[in-house]
Structure 1
């Protein structure tokens, strides 16, 4: 008789149980104080026939929402973005084009669903309408959607921390200071990167831009304000949850990036991507894996080089003989540089990147 294969435990991780009880108690107290669920939307994306809608149901003070919440959040100290209480297991109606369906927020309040559109949507910026169903005031909310059709051939997938924004994420103590204490509006752009991204957009007017980070969705408004303030091309943010999961204390950042890259490349096989990152964490390895899996969909990889001191503090041992360009797919060039200007000079030599 064969020995049955043991199944993994279905019991949630202790950290998730504690978090759920904490949020339940906080939600009960805030509800008694008059707070009500409100939908916070994020930018989704899709094809003419299928879209991914992203949002979160959070408890909010009574009264109308501020007209420019992103700008208000940009002036807060970092820790205040994490003082949110989700509204789990709430029903939300989603309308995209002619299609209507109902989704339920998860244990952290998130709504992340893929929907058909019934009738094809035109390419460009569109919107979904989300309506909260478990309260007396439905209050429909628009969620932006970037729709790409087969005519889109050029795209950029960019890391955020230390690629577009100087955040010193590889340096643990300074990263904590930047994330939880400093005002969000004090963040600086990596020199030359906004100009490089705008140059790419000018060379490819129909290009799409996606900003992929292991950062928390709590900071989405701040990041949108930062990208807008420095005139980066508009595009969806692809962030992750912050805190315990059903299987561990924290989500795995590299796994989030790998899954997001794979999803984008599978949804948009007609797009050839330029992948931007830095060598302070896992971007090099993640991008090399993507190149090996889908070499025909990557036009180039651009890696911002951090200083040796930053890499030491990140736990990496700098190796001057090690080449970031190491890849077994020679037809996909990899360039490196200290800032946007140096990366731009190298990318100018890659056919089809800056010459349109």
Structure 2
């Protein structure tokens, strides 16, 4: 048996024991909805079911942008998930009955029951819990331009590849002290000005446990609303941790497939592997990538991020497509680059 299988089995056994203890103490199910998305043909709905202490004071709603509450980051990772737990999703007059996965997550794909482009709500329910709402962003399948952005070190200072630094930022610091990358909210606003109503998707290797913190962070700092496609940090059938690059590649391809007539602006940073991922996507879908914007980390940030002065990767110059690209250490520089070349820098062979 592989080490990942042993760790995964241990995690499941530990959570099973935690569920039994929680049940004896009178804990109850609590269901949460995450922002989903869809087209005029299909929709994707996300959420999670955990066991919680009913005597704990209820946290302020994530939809409250004035929420000033804060906690140490590690507290959002200490959860008792309810695997294989029955729930119901209601969209309009359509009901879907299903069960959570091994980590208590809800991930439902269904035909669009007639929702028009715009924002809608799905209702999530399970026995013994208060009903929850999951927002759904329905995008016109013929919309010309969409935006996909990384989160860590692109809009939020994390230094993610550097494990100890990232752990301090994610686990020790209070959730309301996270720092935005300077000028990036303004850069997003500039892109939306150039491409009105362009839908925005946030793609990250970050854990779903941080969803509410990230949503409050984005609202507090003026980033536009959009689905966040996060992941689970636990062990998998193939490794001790999920492959972050593979997660991003899969989600990028899913979006391109879901919206075949849309061209995309990809936004990331050079502190992780975003340039490599973008290069692969450009090779596979050269006509569907409109522009790439790369936030370049400073030498100090590179050292803190991954221990070297240079970027981990650059957008490859030997791909088969020609795609405009702009670079900048912050959003203000990217705005200047975009203003000078609204469709990116001069084309180059990537």
Q: Which residue of 1 aligns with 2:161?
A: 170
Q: Which residue of 2 aligns with 1:39?
A: 31
Correspondent of 1:125 among 108, 119, 124: 119
Q: Which residue of 2 aligns with 1:61?
A: 53
Measure how far apart 1:69 and its partner are: 4.4
Measure how far apart 1:313 and its partner are: 4.6
Q: Which residue of 2 aligns with 1:250?
A: 241
What are the ranges of 5 or more consecutive residues in structure 2 without an aligned counterpart? 345-350
Deviation above 3 Å: which 4+ runs of structure 1?
A: 9-12, 63-67, 69-74, 312-320, 322-325, 349-353
**169-178 vs 275-284, which moves further:** 169-178
**Aligned partners of 2:277, 2:331: CA distance in 1, in Å?**
21
Measure how far apart 1:314 and its partner are: 4.1
**310-319 vs 206-215, which moves further:** 310-319
**Aligned partners of 1:332, 1:154: CA distance in 2, in Å?**
15
Deviations 1:310-354 (A, max 9, x none): 33454465559x86463524531121111111112222244457x
**Is 1:100–2:95 an aligned residue pair?**
yes
**Is 1:299–2:277 an aligned residue pair?**
no
Question: Given the superposition, is the C-alpha separation of residues 150 and 216 from structure 1 closer, same or farther in structure 2, using an over 3 Å criterion?
Answer: same
Matched-pair contact (CA < 8 Å) for 1:99–1:117: no
Give the 3-state SS of the residue equivalent to 1:166 in structure 2: coil
- TM-score, scaled relative to structure 1: 0.89
Q: Which residue of 1 aligns with 2:299?
A: 308
Measure how far apart 1:300 and its partner are: 0.6
- Work out the number of aligned pairs and report it: 340
**Aligned partners of 1:104, 1:173: CA distance in 2, in Å?**
36
Q: Which residue of 2 aligns with 1:240?
A: 231
Matched-pair contact (CA < 8 Å) for 2:62–2:215: no
- TM-score, scaled relative to structure 2: 0.90
Cα RMSD after superposing both structures: 2.3
**Is 1:343–2:334 an aligned residue pair?**
yes
Give the 3-state SS of the residue equivalent to 1:184 in structure 2: coil
